[in-house]
Chains A and B, each alone.
Chain A
């Protein structure tokens, strides 16, 4: 059974720091991995999606990497801002024939001015 874990569970940093959020999964047979952001009381916003054949994806100040063989992904946030404060979730899908997501436990990030 696929299990997805995120460390740390919570993180509080001053503005301007570069951050790394971690996601690990127990079964390396994944099709893709998706990072989401969730603001308090809101829905999930897709940030980045990495196909199993890819090593990384970038969007603005965000960079997500994937090491499938070791069951790990990291989300790198450069020059963090207070507006980055949210909960970050990673999720994996198992195969091309299903888009059922298995979610991680989330990292709650607070960036203070």
Chain B
């Protein structure tokens, strides 16, 4: 298994631009998570999906952030318009809720820099 795949690995953009981060979960997993990690705030859960349905988006900071999961093998996190304070590492993770121990597996992350 290739694990959780994220793209791009690095993204540098200018303030005001739209940014789209992509994630492919582990095949067979039914839950997908988007996290943000910064030095100041540590790891924060932004949103998570179960069976492609958003379950908890209380961590999404503002309306500028949106996430979709059109099918079981793909999800996007979009920031529009981006701001310098959005600079962080964004992680995607997946797990099999209800099918075992709910262990989460993380992708390598996307390092976003907004200038």
Total contacts A to B, CB within 8 angstroms? 51
Q: Are A49 and B105 in contact (CB under 8 A)?
A: no
Q: Which of A11-19, A78-86, A93-101 contacts B (4 or more CB under 8 A)?
A: A93-101
| B59-71 interface code vs A (CB 8 A; 1 in, 0 out) | 0000000000000
Using a Cβ–Cβ cut-off of 8 Å, how many residues does chain B contribute to the interface with A?
Answer: 23
A residues near B (Cβ < 8 Å) are 31-32, 34, 36, 41-46, 49, 51, 89, 91, 93, 96-101, 103, 105-106
CB-defined A-B contacts under 8 Å, sample of 30: A32-B102, A34-B103, A34-B104, A42-B108, A42-B109, A43-B106, A43-B107, A43-B108, A44-B93, A44-B106, A46-B104, A46-B106, A49-B101, A49-B103, A51-B101, A91-B104, A96-B98, A97-B97, A98-B97, A99-B31, A99-B48, A99-B95, A99-B97, A99-B102, A99-B104, A100-B33, A100-B48, A101-B33, A101-B45, A106-B42
